[in-house]
Structure 1
């Protein structure tokens, strides 16, 4: 395995033309960033080979997380420095609480998951750790900290979503629509906006804060990987988020 990428952002941009702060964040998160975006679970969505029980586990956990993601966006709307940023974040919040919620309900019905099951489900340890990190970074942390964690979560889905969208659509509507939701132009525009926002903010931060953001992105990448692995195997790791 290659040695971990540990260079500072200042060092990185001296050797890379048009260096982007967000590319540096992803490099600093390896190998966990690639393990999350390339997890076998994500490939099985696009291949149509996803076991129903694994996808049901995944959707139940993701459904328990929606409220926390909405709260994360609410914190970021409040902390955003200007109206254009607030508008971008609030528009995504509106989408999250409408279209995606309808998708979950239809998918649960198709998979035979009873309403009482997903309505009463408690978050598993990985989901809890994932939600806690997002909520803490956006609620107690700064705007760049919250935005970094949000970027990791959404950029991960855009990355595998666009890859799987190149394949023939799976027969199961809940797999096909989940890919579409994360490969559509509107979602890509939102993720690209987060990247541009951090590319603008990141270079002017102190070295200490840049390292803080790199650590958050790395930890989020580990948790994304753990989330997919837990859904795939049904076995959560003993220590969620441990690198």
Structure 2
């Protein structure tokens, strides 16, 4: 069992609750209410700034140029096609500019903002990558069974699945997991404990975020 598999297994109940969440099932079969998807996307969009800063910091702390390239390429997707997807979806779901620019943040959203900032300011490449591993790997796992998305789904549901599944996204997740696994043997006991802790807390925040997204 690889290091990332061990980390996943060590919080398997929460991990499975995320990757098999009712929110994801309803999104994927088209039964999710538009109001729920709109609220979810508004909150998720607030992560973009902190996510870009976290990923950029991880790129800056990567051991070599080669280690940094896949994440740099992914940033281009996040700030390009994914950013455009959000704006198209807001328009389709009748979300006003004020609504997505100045939302009232959920506690889970605030927690995610805080943990991304914590990882970025830690100066620890392994902690930064651990947060990114959870964020991307958990989405790959829930989205993959529903990929390709049915053509009957509205684009704001179908494209959210497409953005988080398929060979390119699988490659990104494999790269992130590989980065954490390569760094692990170089870490002392204290840092290994810190990485494990931030991995577990990020998984818990993913569950809290989906739980809140289903709340009427």
Q: TM-score higher than 0.5 here?
A: yes
Structure of larger gyration radius: 1
Give 2:200's aligned residue.
218
CA 1:141–1:37 in 2, change beyond 3 Å: closer, same or farther? farther
Aligned counterpart in structure 1 of residue 181 of structure 2, from 199, 210, 219: 199
| Distance in 2 between residues matched to 1:108 and 1:53, nearest whole Å | 11
Q: Say whether the 8 Å CA contact 1:47–1:170 is kept in structure 2.
A: no
Q: Say whether the 8 Å CA contact 2:149–2:161 is kept in structure 1.
A: no
Q: Which moved more, 1:159-168 or 1:52-61?
A: 159-168
| Distance in 2 between residues matched to 1:47 and 1:98, nearest whole Å | 27
Report the TM-score when normalising by structure 1.
Answer: 0.84
Q: Which moved more, 1:143-152 or 1:179-188?
A: 179-188
- Map residues 221-232 of structure 1 onto 2, 5 A cutoff: 221-232=203-214
Q: Say whether the 8 Å CA contact 1:137–1:145 is kept in structure 2.
A: yes
Give 2:77's aligned residue.
95
Give 1:53's aligned residue.
35
- Map residues 180-199 of structure 1 onto 2, 5 A cutoff: 180-199=162-181
Q: Say whether the 8 Å CA contact 2:137–2:173 is kept in structure 1.
A: yes
Unaligned runs of 5+ in 2: none
Unaligned runs of 5+ in 1: 1-18, 235-243
**Higher helix proportion:** 2
Aligned counterpart in structure 1 of residue 96 of structure 2, from 92, 99, 114: 114
Give 1:176's aligned residue.
158
- Root-mean-square deviation (CA), in Å? 1.5
> By how many angstroms is 1:67 displaced?
0.7
State how many pairs are aligned.
216
Cα offsets for 1:190-219 (capped at 9, x unmatched): 111011111222234233322222211111
Residue 130 (structure 1) aligned with residue 112 (structure 2): yes
| Secondary structure in 2 matching 1:98 | helix
| Secondary structure in 2 matching 1:31 | helix
